[in-house]
């Protein structure tokens, strides 16, 4: 471990946003899963909750598509497996986190209207089915990226990036990247884990 590498780790951890997360509900394509992790790393998201697809397990780090797209982000973003989306939503809410489901419904609002400086988890749906109605109803809000084309939806990793960079924009404006958001003992613990994996 060079001093420069350690300094980089400390610099990155100083900008991590422990109060911003994603919940992937059965996102099953390895390249989408890993592209979302890569965006999480760029924005400072520490934890990506993930419900495995019904057909199998979470996309694995062993697959070529996963590693080619991830750019090593899986080392810096914790994947937290969850059994199902509704109970994950309720668990996050019990911790004071607002869950915003990316879902078209009567109560959907433009994603830019939400306040991402609050503790927030963005719920993303499966490529084929989207977010389930039950999970969308359990969420605190439903958000949508307005679209004016012929195609009805974006690729899930593109939608994740669009919303997470809006969260980054709001948090930058609020000064949330100017001082560490991680408690100092957590910062020290994660720095050690990253330095000596
Ligand atoms: N047929 C699915 C449906 O009706 O929801 C399409 C799912 S879309 C390909 C996969 C995921 O990308 C969605 O569940 C959502 O998380 C995200 N997504 C795609 N387009 C979006 C948009 N315009 N606004 C918000 N999220 C979007």
CB 119 within 8 A of CB 19: yes
Pocket of ligand 1 contains residue 109 by CB under 6 Å: no
- pLDDT tens across 134-170, in order? 999 999 999 999 999 999 999 999 999 999 999 999 9
Vertex 73, ends 183 and 144: CA angle to 5°? 85
Q: List, in order of start, the domains of the chain with CATH numbers.
A: 16-185 (3.40.1280.10)
Lowest mean pLDDT, pick from 18-22, 53-57, 105-109: 53-57
Q: Does the pLDDT of residue 62 top 80, yes or no?
A: no
pLDDT band, very low/low/confident/very high, at 64 (cuts 50, 70, 90): low
- What's the rounded mean pLDDT across residues 47-69? 75
CA-closest candidate to residue 114, choices 162, 69, 186: 162
Atom of ligand 1 lying closest to residue 153 CA: 20
Pocket of ligand 1 contains residue 159 by CB under 6 Å: yes
- Select from 130, 160, 164 the residue to mutate for testing ligand 1; criterion: most ligand atoms less than 8 Å from CB: 130
Q: Predicted ipTM?
A: 0.97
Q: Model-level pTM?
A: 0.95
């Amino acid at each position: 471990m060079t001093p420069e590498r350690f300094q980089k780790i400390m610099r990155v951890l100083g900008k991590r946003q422990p109060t911003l997360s994603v919940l992937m509900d059965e996102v099953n394509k390895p390249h989408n899963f890993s592209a979302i992790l890569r965006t999480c790393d760029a924005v400072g998201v520490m934890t990506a909750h993930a419900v495995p697809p019904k057909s199998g397990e979470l996309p694995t780090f062993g697959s070529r598509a996963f590693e080619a797209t991830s750019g090593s982000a899986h080392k810096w973003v914790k994947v937290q497996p969850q059994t199902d989306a509704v109970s994950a939503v309720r668990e996050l809410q019990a911790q004071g986190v607002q869950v915003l489901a990316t879902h078209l419904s009567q109560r959907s609002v433009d994603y830019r209207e939400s306040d991402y400086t609050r503790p927030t988890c963005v719920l993303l749906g499966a490529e084929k089915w989207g977010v389930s109605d039950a999970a969308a109803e359990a969420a605190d809000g439903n958000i949508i990226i307005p679209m004016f084309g012929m195609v009805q939806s974006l690729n899930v990793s593109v939608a994740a990036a669009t919303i997470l960079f809006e969260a980054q924009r709001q948090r930058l404006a609020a000064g949330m990247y100017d001082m560490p958001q991680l408690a100092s003992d957590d910062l020290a613990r994660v720095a050690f884990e990253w330095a000596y994996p």
